[in-house]
């Protein structure tokens, strides 16, 4: 978790200087959280991404990766909700 927290701290410093994160920076951090296998932190960061106006996409398989990670972590309820969101976005 050390490197992921370092990265998040770096992004927070960037944000505090007035620069805004974009979809790609959010996705990079989201994948790092998934790799660290911390469901709570991953869900929290995923929610933060949405709150700041960035939605997952299919180009970088954001939905696929987060759903797979949530299932591996046993959070089937959230994974099911995201599956529904992903299907709705694809229509």
The vertex-11 CA angle with 82 and 50, nearest 5°, equals 25
Output the pTM of the full model.
0.61
Q: Which residue has the higher pLDDT, 40 or 71?
A: 71
Residue 8's pLDDT band (cuts 50, 70, 90):
confident
The vertex-71 CA angle with 69 and 72, nearest 5°, equals 65
Range(s) of the domain holding residue 31:
2-90
Q: Does 54 have pLDDT greater than 50? A: yes
Q: What's the confidence (pLDDT) of residue 59? A: 54
Residue 91's pLDDT band (cuts 50, 70, 90):
very low
Domain count of the chain?
A: 1
């Amino acid at each position: 978790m050390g490197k992921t927290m370092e990265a998040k701290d770096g992004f927070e410093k960037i944000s505090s200087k007035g620069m805004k994160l974009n979809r790609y920076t959010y996705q990079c951090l989201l994948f790092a959280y998934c790799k660290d296998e911390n469901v709570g932190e991953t869900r929290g960061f995923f929610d933060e991404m949405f709150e700041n106006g960035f939605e997952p996409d299919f180009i970088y398989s954001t939905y696929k990766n987060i759903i797979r990670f949530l299932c591996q972590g046993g959070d089937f309820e959230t994974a099911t909700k995201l599956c529904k969101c992903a299907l709705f976005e694809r229509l």
